Structure 1
Amino acid sequence: MLMSGFNSLIGLLYLAMLVIAVAAFVLAALAREDAYRAASKQTKPFWMIILGIAVAVNLLVPMLFLQLAGLVASIVFFVDVRPALKQVTGGGGRRGGGSSSDGPYGPYNGGR
């Protein structure tokens, strides 16, 4: 009973690592090539190969050490590379790229 619960927990962890690796791979594929160079990060093919290997390892090779290495690569992409790419391409959170005090018709000047 206890082992089946433990095995299902481990299965969920493996699935979570796969989902994180696939999400990082897709986001790396969607970013522009020149954004990687402008952000002073490794090239797009480098990240596609690293994250592609992480996805392949999670799908095909049930070795926890290799899966954890892929998870580390995915986390590095999410916390370091992706924010730099968003900053370079102007995807900072707001779609229009305006400041936080902008209203629907332009900047709000406090009633002046």
Structure 2
Amino acid sequence: MISVGLDLIFWVLSIIAFGMSAWALFHATRTPVRAFAVTGKQSKRFWLIVLGLAALFSFASAVGYFGIGLGQLNIFAIASVVASGIYLADVKPAVSEIGKGGNQGPYGPW
């Protein structure tokens, strides 16, 4: 009974990890190349490769609970969450500011 509950929890976490990776990949594809260069972050190509692999591995981990993927929790699933987390916490806010225009202060528009 406990094993079924833990499997359900890890499956839900792997679905969340896939959603996080897919969201980061979607944002990276919609961001202009210039935004990455202006902010001094890695190139868009680098982030597309990293986030594409993260989405692939997190998806494989999520479907692994049905016996057709990578299996349950593995190092690739953890690396997917780390890569997506770095993009969403560090790169996304920096590149999102490029091209907004207007008078922006450190705490918002003024």
TM-score by length of 2: 0.79
- Percent of matched pairs sharing the same residue: 26
RMSD: 1.9
CA deviation after TM superposition for structure 1 residue 35, in Å: 0.6
Counterpart of 1:49?
49
Question: Does 2:103 correspond to 1:87?
Answer: no
Question: Structure 1 CA distance, aligned partners of 2:40 and 2:74?
Answer: 31
Gaps of 5+ in 1: 92-96, 103-112
The residue identity in structure 2 corresponding to 1:27 is H
SS of structure 2 residue aligned to 1:6: helix
Give 1:89 deviation, angstroms.
2.4
Structure 2: how far apart are the matches of 1:98 and 1:74?
30
For residues 20-66 of structure 1, what are the alpha-carbon distances to aligned partners after superposition, in whole Å with 9 as ceiling and x for unaligned? 00000000001001110011111111000000000111123335211
Code of the aligned partner of 1:65: I
Which is higher, the Rg of structure 1 or of structure 2? Answer: 1
Residues 1:13 and 2:50 aligned together: no
For the pair 1:64 / 2:74, whether they are aligned, the reply is: yes
Q: Using the alignment, how far apart are the partners of 2:2 and 2:93 within structure 1?
A: 41
Distance 2:83 2:10 in 1: 20
Amino acid at match of 1:71: V
The unaligned stretches of length 5 or more in structure 2 are 61-69
How far apart are the structure 1 equivalents of 2:48 and 2:37? Answer: 14
Tell me by how many angstroms 1:101 deviates. 7.6
User: Cα 1:31–1:6, aligned 2, differ >3 Å: closer, same or farther?
Assistant: same
Instruction: Report the TM-score when normalising by structure 1.
Output: 0.77
Aligned length: 97
